[in-house]
Structure 1
Amino acid sequence: MIPAHDLLIFAAACLLMVLTPGPNMIYLISRSICQGRKAGITSLVGVVAGFFVHMFAAAAGLTAVFLAVPMAYEALKWAGALYLLWMAWQALKPGARSPFEARDLAPDSTPKLMLMGFMTSVLNPKVAMFYLSIFPQFITPEHGSVFIQSLVLGFTQITVSFSVNLLIALFASGIAVWFARNPTWLIAQRFVMGFVLAGLAIRLLLEQRKTV
């Protein structure tokens, strides 16, 4: 099984990912502000369903990669580090916008809310890149089945993302108003997130390659 220390670091990476503005967060915030908490939570159910698609696809794919092409780990490691550096730049770059600047969305029915949440999640490049490039850094064949380890990481990511996104859906309006009144905290959050993401990227680059 995955060591507790590594699992905690992975959970922290999941927290950083969900707090980094992306399609899922922007959609859930906008939907919650425009149509209310119930619509935001309904959309979140669809988003979480999309996470399961990413999880099972990554679990099956990574099992094949580790067993058939162990050297592919090195390429995935560099891809993961570059992706984290890109996310850090998105947080630190001049003119970065807050996801709490909601878009105007027309009211939708419950089935459509779930479908839109699902499609936003499945087609979200941020989630896909996270599963393909960050997952392998926390999997060691010596710790058992790569598939089972992938599922453990997947459920960890889903739990963290669901918890944070649920709070966002419930309190989106209040959070948006608070940030509008306290823009300095928004800037501080961006810089802290950016530097932590960059630090995690460096950690991945310095890590030794795992072998089967």
Structure 2
Amino acid sequence: MFGHALGITDIWTYVFGVIFIILLPGPNSMYVLSLAAQRGVKAGYRAACGVFVGDTVLMVLSAAGVASLLKANPLLFSVVKYGGAAYLLYIGTGMLRSAWRKLRARGDAPVEAPQAVDGERPLRKALIVSLLNPKAILFFISFFIQFVDPAFPHPALSFVVLGAIAQCASFLYLSTLIFAGARLAEHFRRRRKLAAGAASSVGGLFIGFSVKLALATMS
């Protein structure tokens, strides 16, 4: 009843679908987790804010019809896609370089508490990762549209409600990752090799994400 009053056809199916999709590992969630593990809860939430802003922008663009523009313009899709892939590759190689520096250190000496890296802005970096993904725009419109009642006179309201539900689920999930990462940070600070192994694993995942995005198609 609540969903139909807002122009949403099957709100509970949507909720469970969103939860399942958010739980799938992706570059945003892995970046937030790795940053929280390296620099603590505060930095993790700054990165999470970048994810929230990026997803909100993508939802608005989807509702405004940008997905149709991307589908109709393969060149534009390719430009955004390869730009996003290059940025993910840049992040991944940066993490691998950081892991290599840790491995060159002697033994398992304690790692100093992480300091802010000059020029590294978690919110901005997470925002760029979110926005440089044309597949996300296509996903939002293709997923959301299934749950919007075409007869509802105010479809924008339906999109707002669907977006708010997705953001709430994302907030809860990213918060869990942030505090889990902060717990891991204590172990990483005591063992340099463990920290290097974790950084190299996440860096490898980002390189994999970049390849996956570069090979993505509009279908």
Q: Same fold (TM over 0.5)?
A: yes
- Deviation string 1:10-54 (CA, Å, 9 cap, x unpaired) is 54244x3232379x927x743x4xxxxxxx3x6656665665544
Q: Say whether the 8 Å CA contact 1:62–1:147 is kept in structure 2.
A: no
- The one-letter code sitting in structure 2 at the alignment partner of 1:171 is L
1:81-96 superposed matches below 5 A: 82-92=83-93, 96=97
Residue number in structure 2 paired with 1:162? 175
- Paired with 1:49 and 1:188, the residues of 2 have a C-alpha distance of 24
- Paired with 2:70 and 2:196, the residues of 1 have a C-alpha distance of 43
TM, length-normalised to structure 2 = 0.55
CA RMSD of aligned residues (A): 4.3
Larger radius of gyration: 2
1:175-194 superposed matches below 5 A: 175-181=188-194, 183-184=196-197, 186-194=199-207
Distance 1:198 1:155, change over 3 A: farther
Residue number in structure 2 paired with 1:70? 68
Residue 12 of structure 1 is aligned with which of 15, 21, 24?
Answer: 24
> How far is the alpha carbon of 1:148 from its aligned partner?
4.4
Matched length: 177
Distance 1:155 1:96, change over 3 A: farther
Q: Which runs of 5 or more residues in structure 2 are unaligned?
A: 1-12, 103-110, 149-157
Query: SS of the residue aligned with 2:24?
Result: helix
Identity among equivalent positions (%) equals: 8
Q: Say whether the 8 Å CA contact 1:92–1:194 is kept in structure 2.
A: yes
- Paired with 1:94 and 1:46, the residues of 2 have a C-alpha distance of 19
Q: Say whether the 8 Å CA contact 1:11–1:156 is kept in structure 2.
A: no
Structure 1 segments of 4 or more deviating over 6 A?
Answer: 3-7
> How far is the alpha carbon of 1:87 from its aligned partner?
0.9
- The one-letter code sitting in structure 2 at the alignment partner of 1:71 is L
- The one-letter code sitting in structure 1 at the alignment partner of 2:217 is L
- Paired with 2:85 and 2:171, the residues of 1 have a C-alpha distance of 19
